[in-house]
Structures are given as C-alpha cells and as structure tokens.
Amino acid sequence: MSELIETMPGANAAPPLLLLQGTGGTNQEILEFGRRLAPQSPLLTIAGRQGTGAQRQYYTQTASSPARPEQVDREARWVAEQARRVCRENHWDATQLVTVGYSNGAALGAYGVRAGLFPGRFALLFHPLWLDVAQPVSDRRRDVWLSAGQRDPLVSVATVQKIATACDNLQMTTTVEVTGGTHNLTPQEVMAAYQWLAERLA
C-alpha cells in the first residue's frame, strides 16, 4: 500500500493536487509533473492497484477486453477514500483538491468527477479514455479542463469531446485543448493547463 501513495509537501494553504498516472507511470514522474503545474501546492499521487511496473494501471482495459464497470467504480472509490485520508492526515483542505490525470489516470479522474466521488472544484484531464458512469452527479461548481491530440492513436479527439459533453450535461464548465500531437503530452498543452489552473488558483 505505502509504495502506491506518495506525497510532496507544499504550502499547506494552497489547494492540494491529486495526481493520477498513465499506464506504467511512476510516482516520481507524476509528482514532478504536478510541481510544474502548481509550484506552491502540496502534491499527492495514488498509483493504480492493477498490474505492476510498466503494466500498472487503475483498471484493466485492452483492445479486446473493455473495462469492467464494477472494477472501475471500486478503484475510483478507493482512490477517493485514500485522497481524503491523506488530506486529513496532512491538514490539507480536501474540498479544494485539484484532480490531475493522464490517459488511464485521466479516465479514472473523469469517472470520479462525473460520479461525484472526487472532492474539489477543478480537474485537468490529459487524453482521457471514455468510461461509462452509471449514476452521474451534476455539479455546477465543477470546472474541467481536458486535452486531446489530433494524432493520438489511443484516444481520439472525438472521445475527449464526448467526455466534455458529458460534463457539460452535468452543468460543469469545460475547456478542451486540442493539439496536433500524439498520445504524449506537448509543451503547448502543458503550458495551457498551467495557465488555466494558475488563473483559477490565483
């Protein structure tokens, strides 16, 4: 359990970031990425419990086997529970939690936001995959930023737009950043995300 959860200190009064990794990502990589997005914020990453090493992820999904709804829901609830616990133990304000996710982690983040499981107002979701939400929850306070790459072979722009529309339908405010890139993040979208978040945390 302990190796799945890692924190990096910041200003305790600043909104904490919950960082959700892509498949095979590492705690160190995502913590460094989080520091670039929010230089003052306390950082928390919770890795997925499925697979190990380069195959580690939050839920299992391949081209031949779609995600299992019960697994996705269980893992999203577990991540939300751990995030609240870590915030409580560190005296961070969980109601200000900013969800940041990439790929598999962005998909789980989008699920947690739309299902009303993750606390906080802001979410940044880089190249999220689509996951069905059985009981979505409206939240007019929620502001969601999403990104997509026109040459991404794994997540199409249409998929990201579909998630944005689902959030819009839940009275959330959405921003979609489309780059000419692939599944890897581009400097353009990272800068756009940084500026979007900085404006809201100011």
Tens digits of residue pLDDT in 126-164:
999 999 999 999 999 999 999 999 999 999 999 999 999
Q: Tokens in use for 155? A: 């997540």
Tens digits of residue pLDDT in 92-104:
999 999 999 999 9
Tens digits of residue pLDDT in 36-50:
999 999 999 999 999
Which is more confident, 60 or 178? Answer: 178
Q: Which of 48, 35, 38, 34 is nearest to 1 (CA)?
A: 48
- Predicted TM-score of the model (pTM): 0.96
> Alpha carbon of 129 to those of 79, 85, 90, 163: distances in Å?
18, 27, 31, 8
> Alpha carbon of 101 to those of 64, 89, 93, 179: distances in Å?
24, 23, 19, 17
Main-chain dihedrals φ then ψ at residue 20, nearest 5 degrees: -110, 125
Confidence of residue 1 (pLDDT cuts 50, 70, 90): low
> What pLDDT does residue 63 have?
66
> What pLDDT does residue 64 have?
74
